[in-house]
Amino acid sequence: MGIQGLNIGLSALRSSRSAMETIGHNLSNANTEGYSRQSVTLGATSPRSVDGLAIGTGVEPEALTRATDTVLNRRIVVQAAKVTRLESMMVGMNSIESFLGEPNGFGIGGLLDGFFNSVSELSASPTDLALRSEVVRSADSLASQFNQLGVQLDEAKADALRRVDFVVDEINTIVDNIRDLNVEIAQFASQGIAANDLLDRRDEALRALGERINITYYEEPAGVRVLAGGQLLASPVSTSHLEVRRDGNGETFLMAEGGTEPVEVTGGEIGGLMEFARDFVPEFQAEMGSLARSMILETSRLHSTGIPPNGGFRHLTASNQLTDSNGNGGFGDEILGNAGLPFDVHEGQLYVNVVSESTGEFATYAIDVDPDQTVSTFLQDIDEIPLLSASIDGSGRFSIVAGGGVRFDFGRRLDPTPDDAGTFGGGRASVGTGSGEPFALSGGDTLDITGSGGPFTVTFSAIDFDDIGAATAAELAGVLNANANLQTAGMRAEIVGDQVFLQSVAAGATETFDITGGSSLGALGLPTGTASGQNAAVEVAIGGTYTGDENGTLTFRPIGDGAVGTTPGLQVEVVDETGTTVATIDVGEGYAPGTAIQLADGLTVSFTFGELSATNNDAFVQSHVANSDTSDILAAFGLNSFFTGSDAASFGVRGDLVDDPFLIASSGSGAKAGNQALLEILALQQDEVEGLDASFMDFYGNSIGRVGFEIDSVQNAVDVEQFLADSLTARKEQVSGVNVDEELVNLIQFEQSFTAASRFIQTINSITDEVMSLI
């Protein structure tokens, strides 16, 4: 055997050893993430030419190849971004679900139930202090839960964004790694060496990057070029780090180093985190904020017009502060609609009742509210109410204080004796205009009256009216009451509704006056003849609780003349503010005077014995209020509100109620044991709420249902995408993976065959030695 023969043997040995070592490398990396199986391709070395013959020179490793599928790897990277996006969303969404505390009863749903249950129990015993305290406690629990949820949602969002910062750091590290690998791989490639392990590591780095952010990459001879959301992250020789930035609105976005546009993040863990923080949490926060805001507004709307059992207030201070938006140091010049109040003020009316503490008698004042008026003008309107004064403190809180002996409230008080003037069968001699204002008088029109002092004439002058052809009741009454002859005659003018009544000041059967003529009779609709008082005046009593939806008036007029309870066919017609007859009541023969007659919308009326006169245009007007604050100014100011704040974070129970649960306004009309306000608050549990298009419970149920649905949807999507990812990974394993069993079987077969082969070596040696010794 010559030197050449030895070379053949050595090259073969080296080649075989390379193959064996590759098997060992495969086995060693069987569990290495991203490792691709390698194999040695053996090839014949170049033949040697001897005497024109090609003599073989042995075998050598031709190439060390990596079993990989670049298309499959690319799909795995894309799929990884989908899976991790969904998984990171799931983590956040599950945390939100845990915050809700449903269905263990400690969530908002259970606490809403608890609050309304406590209101329901109180409505049955409105003066029970223990039940009042329970209402305050349950309301406080509800408010606290809203506060806590608001904080938890903020924290969940902040956690997600902190995680974004962390993941961006990871991304930058991976990007640096990819660049380094690019350089190393290129160095090996320049020497004609395929750096299979480095290529595997780069594939793995790309997959790890894809798990964190949506990327696309391109393989170039010099390395891979990686882009995320259109921005270059890594080139074969350089990197652009990502940076987390937040704009003035708190929105988080990513910028690539040197980039001019934000990175469009659509996938990977960061995609899920940002979608969670940017969309899911704010949407849920907005829903909970709307729920909290509506709860505060609607409850306060109803509560602010309610009345505590002990009556109205001696003073009230608003919960909400005005804002000095123009910065001039004052609040009075602020426009109501733009005064920094948490709730809108609308054009409407506010009814203010001033109640005598000693007699319980009250007067109701209607204030027109316009969101375009200034705070000062509203304050003046309150100030103009007798015995009330309003002010604004230095912090912008509006206050109302009652004078001595009176209280005030904003309830829907019903005047139980609406005919105080006695224009409906009263004791005074009385005759009313046949119709209401406006009165089509002319300048110089006259009214001839004969009173106790003799005849006199009232002459109407155009100068006393804005428009004498359309004179108002107030103008007409003003002119009459200013007439000296009328005063001398012991008479006065009273306004009832839009009618004007001429009356004797004194009551009794002896009181009379005559309307004898004048040019104004037609315009005023006054009858001529004698009006007489009576000793037994008809006393009107209104009872019940108004349950209608609209503010309005009922005008009662007799049909015909006669005595209550005795005149056959005597009826009273009831017309509403539109002039529509809503009832005709039999009060003649057969009616037991004083008996309450049921009217519509929860009201009753009764009449005592006495004479009614349609001829003299007898009438009285009863006002009923369904909503004593159609402007929402009380809720906006937070005057007699139940809750405070305007969103989930600021949700609270008014401090006055916590200190004194008896201030809970249970009654709508002022009855000590009334529960109208409580029942109306209770109805919020099921009634559709403006702005939510659902009841509180339904809205909350829909919200948490949506969260649950979205979690289910994302979970399903995770399952599907994970299945696809697993399928792709399995395919990669088929292509690139190391089958440990197979590799081991190969090794053991080698081991066994070599052992077997070695068994005969000695035998052969013995034989050949013996033969050689014989030769």
Classify residue 303 by burial, with Cβ atoms within 10 Å: 0-12, 13-18, 19+: buried
Considering the complex, what minimum distance in angstroms separates the CB of residue 20 from another protein? 5
Q: How far is CA 445 from CA 195, 442, 469, 482, 699, in A?
A: 117, 6, 11, 16, 64
Pick the closer one to another protein by CB: 61 or 271.
Answer: 61
Q: Which of 13, 470, 482, 673 binds another protein (CB under 8 A)?
A: 13
Q: Is residue 39 near another protein by the rule CB under 8 A?
A: no
Q: Sketch the per residue contact string, 747 through 766, with another protein: x for CB under 8 A, - otherwise.
A: xxxxxxxxxxxxxxx-xxx-
Considering the complex, what minimum distance in angstroms separates the CB of residue 33 from another protein? 16
Pick the closer one to another protein by CB: 30 or 78.
Answer: 30
The residues facing 244 across adjacent strands are 254
What's 663's DSSP letter?
G
Q: Sketch the per residue contact string, 701 through 740, with another protein: x for CB under 8 A, - otherwise.
A: ---------------------------------------x
Pick the closer one to another protein by CB: 12 or 582.
Answer: 12
**Half-sphere exposure for 735 (CA within 13 Å, toward CB):** 15
Q: Is residue 1 near another protein by the rule CB under 8 A?
A: yes
CA pair distance 702, 718, nearest whole angstrom = 23
Cβ pair 699, 690 in contact under 8 A:
no
**Token couple for 248:** 């003035």
The residues facing 391 across adjacent strands are 399
Q: Is residue 41 near another protein by the rule CB under 8 A?
A: no
Considering the complex, what minimum distance in angstroms separates the CB of residue 275 from another protein? 40
Q: Which of 4, 7, 19, 577 binds another protein (CB under 8 A)?
A: 19
Q: Sketch the per residue contact string, 499 through 528, with another protein: x for CB under 8 A, - otherwise.
A: ------------------------------
Q: Which pairs with CB-CB distance under 8 Å and at least 24 residues apart come from 240-244?
A: 240/175, 241/172, 241/175, 242/168, 242/171, 242/172, 242/175, 242/213, 243/168, 244/161, 244/164, 244/165, 244/168
Q: Which of 59, 462, 575, 626 binds another protein (CB under 8 A)?
A: 59
CA pair distance 405, 415, nearest whole angstrom = 19
Instruction: For residue 69, give every residue at least 6 positions away whose Cβ sits within 8 Å of its Cβ, in sequence order, or none.
Output: 731, 732, 735, 736
Considering the complex, what minimum distance in angstroms separates the CB of residue 40 from another protein? 9
**Token couple for 322:** 């005005």
Q: Is residue 335 near another protein by the rule CB under 8 A?
A: no
Q: Is residue 771 near another protein by the rule CB under 8 A?
A: yes
* Site stretch for another protein (CB under 8 A), options 9-17, 152-160, 224-232, 255-263: 9-17
Sign of CA dihedral 21, 24, 28, 31: positive
Type of residue numbered 17: R
CA pair distance 720, 730, nearest whole angstrom = 15
Q: Is residue 746 near another protein by the rule CB under 8 A?
A: yes
Q: Is residue 640 within a helix (H) or strand (E), and if so which, with residue range?
A: none
Pick the closer one to another protein by CB: 16 or 148.
Answer: 16
Cβ pair 206, 224 in contact under 8 A:
yes
**Token couple for 549:** 């939806």
Pick the closer one to another protein by CB: 435 or 768.
Answer: 768
Considering the complex, what minimum distance in angstroms separates the CB of residue 10 from another protein? 10
Type of residue numbered 105: G
Query: How many CB atoms sit inside 10 A of residue 443's CB?
Result: 13
Q: Is residue 198 within a helix (H) or strand (E), and if so which, with residue range?
A: helix 196-212
Q: Is residue 487 within a helix (H) or strand (E), and if so which, with residue range?
A: helix 484-488
Pick the closer one to another protein by CB: 381 or 743.
Answer: 743
* Beta-sheet strand order (sheet of 540-544): 540-544, 603-607, 597-598
Q: Is residue 71 near another protein by the rule CB under 8 A?
A: no
Q: Which of 7, 15, 47, 422 binds another protein (CB under 8 A)?
A: 15
Q: Torsions phi, psi of 688, nearest 5? A: -70, 135
Q: Is residue 55 near another protein by the rule CB under 8 A?
A: no
Q: Which of 24, 47, 594, 705 binds another protein (CB under 8 A)?
A: 24
Pick the closer one to another protein by CB: 474 or 730.
Answer: 730
Pick the closer one to another protein by CB: 580 or 758.
Answer: 758
Pick the closer one to another protein by CB: 21 or 368.
Answer: 21
Q: Which pairs with CB-CB distance under 8 Å and at least 24 residues apart come from 348-351?
A: 348/629, 348/630, 348/631, 348/632, 348/633, 349/551, 349/629, 349/630, 349/631, 350/410, 350/628, 350/629, 350/630, 350/631, 350/633, 350/634, 351/410, 351/412, 351/625, 351/628, 351/629
Q: Is residue 358 near another protein by the rule CB under 8 A?
A: no
Q: Is residue 9 near another protein by the rule CB under 8 A?
A: yes
* Site stretch for another protein (CB under 8 A), options 25-33, 410-418, 602-610, 685-693: 25-33
Pick the closer one to another protein by CB: 31 or 580.
Answer: 31
By CB under 8 A, the count of residues binding another protein is 47
Q: Is residue 44 near another protein by the rule CB under 8 A?
A: no
Considering the complex, what minimum distance in angstroms separates the CB of residue 151 from another protein? 50
* Site stretch for another protein (CB under 8 A), options 115-123, 193-201, 662-670, 767-775: 767-775
Q: Torsions phi, psi of 311, nearest 5? A: 100, -165
Q: Is residue 775 near another protein by the rule CB under 8 A?
A: yes
Pick the closer one to another protein by CB: 13 or 129.
Answer: 13
* Site stretch for another protein (CB under 8 A), options 11-19, 294-302, 463-471, 493-501: 11-19
Pick the closer one to another protein by CB: 28 or 442.
Answer: 28
Considering the complex, what minimum distance in angstroms separates the CB of residue 773 from another protein? 8
Q: Is residue 17 near another protein by the rule CB under 8 A?
A: yes
Q: Which of 4, 7, 16, 125 binds another protein (CB under 8 A)?
A: 16
Cβ pair 685, 695 in contact under 8 A:
yes
Considering the complex, what minimum distance in angstroms separates the CB of residue 152 from another protein? 45
Closest to 114 measured CA to CA, from 668, 697, 698, 706: 697
Q: Torsions phi, psi of 111, nearest 5? A: -75, -30
Q: Is residue 741 near another protein by the rule CB under 8 A?
A: yes
Instruction: For residue 678, give every residue at least 6 positions away whose Cβ sits within 8 Å of its Cβ, in sequence order, or none.
Output: 119, 122, 123, 126, 306, 666
Considering the complex, what minimum distance in angstroms separates the CB of residue 44 from another protein? 12
Pick the closer one to another protein by CB: 474 or 745.
Answer: 745
Considering the complex, what minimum distance in angstroms separates the CB of residue 4 from another protein? 14
CA pair distance 92, 294, nearest whole angstrom = 27
Considering the complex, what minimum distance in angstroms separates the CB of residue 28 from another protein? 7
Type of residue numbered 442: S
* Site stretch for another protein (CB under 8 A), options 18-26, 158-166, 219-227, 705-713: 18-26
Considering the complex, what minimum distance in angstroms separates the CB of residue 11 from another protein? 9
Q: Which of 7, 29, 32, 42 binds another protein (CB under 8 A)?
A: 42
Cβ pair 80, 263 in contact under 8 A:
no
**Half-sphere exposure for 589 (CA within 13 Å, toward CB):** 3
Pick the closer one to another protein by CB: 13 or 124.
Answer: 13
Interacting positions 372-411 with another protein (CB under 8 A): none
**Token couple for 135:** 């209402």
Pick the closer one to another protein by CB: 5 or 453.
Answer: 5
Type of residue numbered 495: I
Pick the closer one to another protein by CB: 470 or 767.
Answer: 767
Q: Which of 20, 183, 335, 366 binds another protein (CB under 8 A)?
A: 20
Where along the sequence are the contacts to another protein (CB under 8 A)? 1, 9, 12-13, 15-17, 19-21, 23-24, 27-28, 30, 42, 59, 740-741, 744-761, 763-765, 767-768, 771-775
